[in-house]
């Protein structure tokens, strides 16, 4: 590991899909040949100019990239410290960063000759992005979504249905993201021939954590150029929320080797770290679930515990394995924000900048609100605004005891 | 000779396959589960697969998921699973016990410590669904030091190129998952099972057990005509759920009759 540290923090995973002790391929044998074929296909595709060219075309003309890097002047003034820039992933087609990954993987699925796409979703953003990609490519689409999440993200459920996807409610467990992922894996085992599993975050078995990261790195790469164009230099800090960790990894990864840049990943502290939460790095320990070894919330017997977050997209008891590794190397600082802090940040950004952020992204904003005031005025901070909050207005209204929505 | 080798050798001499019965430890309660377990050999089980309950049984259908849930709700732990094996060994020294489950609880317990304690408790083999050969070494080494067989799964998707990767590390027997799917759902045809067993046998000397989707004495008999063992899980677990020990043992006796007369 010291060898990797000396050279680059960006060279992982190793050939067998490990980031230090994390990652790997902990799947049933039935899936193993499939995982290996995805790895092989992706390895070929990423070197094929036809593939990368088509992806880049879609990102520009369909998704609407590059997304703006917006200097939030009023927010920065309120904070009274760092200059805060928002990476506007909320302005992507379908309203979140999830579509970046879906464009890449849908092209891969097509290349592999798959006819049917399955995906898990929490907030419904990944489900909507997947259903969108399937509509675009004319592929069958089945989205697994926890019953609890179906209730709290109703607008996205209907969007998926309009897009032609089947939405399968999952009632096992707490009916959230973890259970949706279990059910998607079960479906995949039963339909290995024609089905491609389009995982929505930097988790799951190798090659998914690396592949999803690669497709999301466009966020960080654009940020580098945009900051250079606007301020003539690199940012000083990066802040992003973490469910599985894909929007964060996409922003962080291109900057990992520049040790002067402070990097913060914000987990969901739910009701508080001493109560119910979804902060697997803060409150968990290394274990094995959903195909990889990573930090997980569990009891002393290794039974997985349910996460809790007001934000369905962060309500997951695990985290992508590369984040676990970055925590142990110390390169990234992992912090957390509570439901209440996220709600405050949600309302604050809406009022101050006229931007309704996703509740997920509001966790990043909540930490920025703590950090920015402590920093000098020439400090350049980038907060990843991973998605827009239209899907969350009913949840917010309910929490604030306000009627009239949904 | 290990209990597993001995059992397969004895049955080979009788020209019949083994009936492998799966039940989840602690399902539907610790005491009923122990009573079910203790009576399985007499009912006709030749090998016992004892499920280690887990919250996220990704390769299992509703029946075995629910079994895990009941067992965990009743407070079953890995230590409890070993306790059940120890109790069983007080009355039965011959019937092999294979633990089956997912890796995380074992990883958290500590593979080395678990292997040692499992061996002492009288456990003969382990099946860990989410540990393919690529990730298995960290458990395989402690298990082999303790004399416990690591039983690998093979599937219809495990092609001839990949089979040696799996079989190189296998011991005890080879488990063939006869369908692409989760437990307790569809069943393979007898012809498909026959073909698959032939293919596996051309790669290995180890006994071949076939499972997933075997629900009736007739299906068990069909598998027993080709394979060295037929594994019945969900169909047993559905009866365990009713909490009636006799109902379970009667069903196992029917399955055993099917298996024992299959090649006659
Ligand atoms: C807008 C938004 N941000 C963040 C997330 C969390 O996912 P990740 O940590 O993979 O970026 C989600 C997940 O649904 C989301 O919809």
How many angstroms separate the first and last alpha carbons of chain B?
28
**Coil, helix or strand at residue A9:** coil
The torsion angles phi and psi of B90, rounded to 5 degrees, stand at -65, -25
What local confidence, expressed as pLDDT, does residue A210 receive? 98
CA-nearest residue, atom 1 of ligand 1: A387
Handedness of CA B44, B50, B53, B54 (dihedral sign): negative
Q: What pLDDT, on a 0 to 100 scale, did the predictor assign at position A174?
A: 82
Cβ pair B64, B185 in contact under 8 A? no
User: Does the structure show a pLDDT above 70 at A405?
Assistant: no
d(CA B113, CA A171): 36
Q: Would strands A83-88 and A69-71 be described as parallel, antiparallel, or unpaired?
A: antiparallel
| pLDDT tens-place string over residues B40-71 | 999 999 999 999 999 999 999 999 999 999 99
The torsion defined by the Cα of B229, B23, B58 and B120, in degrees rounded to 10, comes to -90
- Alpha-carbon distance values, A325 to A253, A281, B70 (Å): 13, 10, 35
Q: Which of B27, B49, B66, B238 is catalytic?
A: B49
Q: Which pLDDT band holds residue A401 (cuts at 50, 70, 90)?
A: confident
Q: Is B58 in contact with A29 (Cβ distance < 8 A)?
A: no
| Burial profile A160-169: b = 16 or more Cβ within 10 angstroms, e = fewer | beebebebbb
Cα(B213)–Cα(B225) distance, integer angstroms: 16
Give the Å distance between the CA of A366 and the centre of ligand 1.
15
- Nearest residue in chain B measured CA to CA from A32: B132
Higher local confidence (pLDDT), A153 or A104: A104
Q: Is residue A4 scored above 50 in pLDDT?
A: no
Quote the tokens at residue B226: 């080709």
What's the pLDDT score for residue A402? 80
| DSSP count for chain B of H helices, then E strands | 12, 9
B-chain residues within 8 Å CB-CB of A28?
A: 58-59, 129-130, 132, 153, 155, 177
- State whether residue B118 is helix, strand or coil: helix
- pLDDT at position A173 over 50: yes
The residue annotated as part of the active site, out of B46, B60, B149, B238, is: B60
d(CA B62, CA A113): 31
d(CA A318, CA A86): 26
Put simply, the answer to whether A25 touches B134 (Cβ < 8 Å) is yes
pLDDT at residue A350, rounded to an integer: 98
Q: What is the pLDDT of residue B264?
A: 86
Cα–Cα distance, B83 to B68 (Å, whole number): 17
* Overall average pLDDT of the B231-239 stretch: 97
Distance CA B112, CA B139 (A): 8
> What is the pLDDT at residue A2?
41
Cβ neighbours of B103 in A, within 8 Å: 26, 288
Pocket of ligand 1 (CB under 6 A): A 96, 98, 122-123, 125-126, 201, 241-248, 313-314, 358, 360-361, 386-387
Q: Name every residue whose Cβ is closer than 8 Å to that of residue A81 and which is 6 or more positions away in sequence.
A: A372, A373, A374, A375, A376, A377, A379
Q: Distance between CA atoms of A56 and B137, rounded to whole angstroms?
A: 41
CB < 8 Å to A192, chain B: 157, 180
CA of A104 to the centre of ligand 1 (A): 17
Residue pair B168/A42 in contact (Cβ under 8 Å)? The answer is no
How remote is the CA of residue A386 from the centroid of ligand 1, in Å?
Answer: 7
Q: Which domains does chain B have, with CATH numbers?
A: 3-260 (3.20.20.70)
To the question of pTM greater than 0.90 for the whole model, the response is: yes
Q: State pLDDT tens for residues B173-223.
A: 999 999 999 998 889 999 999 999 999 999 999 999 999 999 999 999 999
- For an interface test with B, the pick among A24, A28, A179, A317 (most B C-beta atoms closer than 10 Å) comes out as A28
b/e burial code for range B139-158 (CB count within 10 A of at least 16 → b): bbebbeebebbbbbbbbbbb
Please report residues of B whose CB lies closer than 8 A to that of A20: none
Q: In chain B, what is the greatest distance between 2 CA atoms, to the nearest angstrom?
A: 47
pLDDT single digits (tens) A187-222: 999 999 999 999 999 999 999 999 999 999 999 999
DSSP per residue, A10-77:
TS-S-TTSEETTEEEEE--TTTHHHHHHHHHHHHHHTT-HHHHHHHHHHIIIII-PSPPEEE-HHHHH
Q: Taking chain A, what is the end-to-end CA distance rounded to the nearest angstrom? A: 51
* Span B4-26, pLDDT tens digits: 999 999 999 999 999 999 999 99
Mutate to test the interface with A, among B107, B110, B134 (most CBs of A within 10 A): B134
Task: Find tokens 């890995």 and name the residue.
Answer: B78
Res A6: pLDDT = 56
Would you state the pLDDT for residue B41?
A: 98
For the sheet containing A116-121, what is the strand order?
A166-170, A140-146, A116-121, A195-197
pLDDT of residue A403: 64
- β-bridge pairing A22-26 and A291-296: antiparallel
Q: Is the pLDDT of residue A302 over 80?
A: yes
């Amino acid at each position: 590991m010291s060898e990797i540290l000396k050279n680059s923090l960006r060279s992982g995973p190793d050939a067998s899909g490990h980031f230090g002790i994390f990652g790997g391929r902990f799947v049933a044998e039935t899936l193993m040949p499939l995982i290996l074929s995805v790895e092989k296909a992706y390895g070929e595709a990423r070197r094929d100019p036809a593939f990368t060219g088509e992806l880049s075309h879609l990102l520009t003309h369909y998704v609407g990239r590059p997304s703006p890097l917006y200097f939030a002047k009023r927010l920065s003034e309120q904070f009274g410290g760092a200059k805060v820039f928002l990476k506007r992933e909320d302005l992507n087609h379908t309203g979140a960063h999830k579509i970046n990954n879906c464009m890449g993987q849908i092209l891969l699925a097509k290349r592999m000759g798959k006819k049917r796409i399955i995906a898990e979703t929490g907030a419904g953003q990944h489900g909507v992005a997947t259903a969108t990609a399937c509509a675009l490519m004319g592929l069958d689409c089945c989205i697994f979504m926890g019953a609890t999440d179906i209730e709290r993200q109703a607008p996205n459920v209907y969007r998926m249905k309009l897009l032609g996807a089947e939405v399968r409610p999952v009632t096992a467990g707490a009916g959230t993201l973890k259970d949706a992922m279990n059910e998607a894996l079960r479906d995949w085992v039963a339909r290995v021939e024609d089905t491609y599993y389009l995982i929505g975050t930097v988790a799951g078995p190798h090659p998914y954590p690396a592949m999803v990261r690669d497709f999301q790195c466009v966020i960080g790469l654009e940020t580098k150029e945009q900051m250079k164009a606007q301020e003539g230099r690199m940012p000083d800090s990066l802040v992003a929320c973490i469910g599985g960790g894909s929007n964060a990894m996409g922003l962080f990864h291109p900057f990992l080797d520049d040790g002067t840049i402070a990097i913060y990943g914000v987990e969901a502290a739910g009701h508080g770290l001493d109560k119910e939460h979804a902060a697997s790095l803060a409150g968990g320990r290394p274990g094995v679930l959903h195909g990889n070894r990573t930090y997980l919330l569990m009891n002393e017997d290794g039974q997985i515990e349910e996460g809790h977050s007001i934000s369905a997209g962060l309500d997951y008891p695990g985290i992508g394995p590369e984040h676990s590794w970055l925590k142990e190397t110390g390169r990234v600082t992992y912090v957390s924000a509570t439901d209440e802090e996220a709600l405050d940040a949600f309302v604050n950004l809406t009022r101050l900048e006229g931007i309704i952020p996703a509740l997920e992204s509001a966790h990043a904003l909540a930490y920025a609100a703590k950090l920015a005031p402590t920093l000098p005025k020439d400090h350049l901070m980038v907060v990843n605004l991973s998605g827009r909050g239209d899907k969350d207005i009913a949840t917010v209204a309910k929490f604030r005891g306000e009627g009239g929505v949904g | 000779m290990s209990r597993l080798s001995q059992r397969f050798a004895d049955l080979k001499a009788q020209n019949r396959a083994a009936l492998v019965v799966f039940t989840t430890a602690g399902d539907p309660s610790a005491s009923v589960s122990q009573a079910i377990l203790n009576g399985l050999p007499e009912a006709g089980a030749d090998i016992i697969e004892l499920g280690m309950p887990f919250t996220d049984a990704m390769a299992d259908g509703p029946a075995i998921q629910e079994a895990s849930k009941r067992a965990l709700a009743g407070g079953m732990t890995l230590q409890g699973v070993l306790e059940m094996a120890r109790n069983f060994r007080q009355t039965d020294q011959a019937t092999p016990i294979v633990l089956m489950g997912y890796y995380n609880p074992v990883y958290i317990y500590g593979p080395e410590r678990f292997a040692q304690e499992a061996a002492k408790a009288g456990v003969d083999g382990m099946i860990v669904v989410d540990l393919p050969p690529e990730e298995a070494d960290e458990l395989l080494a402690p298990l082999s030091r303790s004399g416990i067989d690591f039983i690998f799964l093979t599937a219809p998707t495990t092609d001839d190129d990949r089979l040696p990767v799996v079989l190189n590390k296998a011991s005890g027997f080879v488990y063939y998952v006869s369908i692409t799917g989760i437990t307790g759902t569809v069943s393979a045809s007898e012809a498909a099972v026959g073909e698959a067993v032939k293919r596996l046998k051309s790669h290995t000397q180890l006994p071949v057990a076939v499972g997933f989707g075997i629900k009736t004495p007739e299906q068990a008999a069909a598998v027993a005509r080709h394979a060295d063992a037929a594994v019945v899980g969900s169909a047993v677990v559905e009866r365990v759920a009713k909490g009636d020990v006799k109902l379970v043992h009667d069903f196992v006796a029917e399955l055993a009759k099917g298996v024992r007369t299959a090649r006659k």
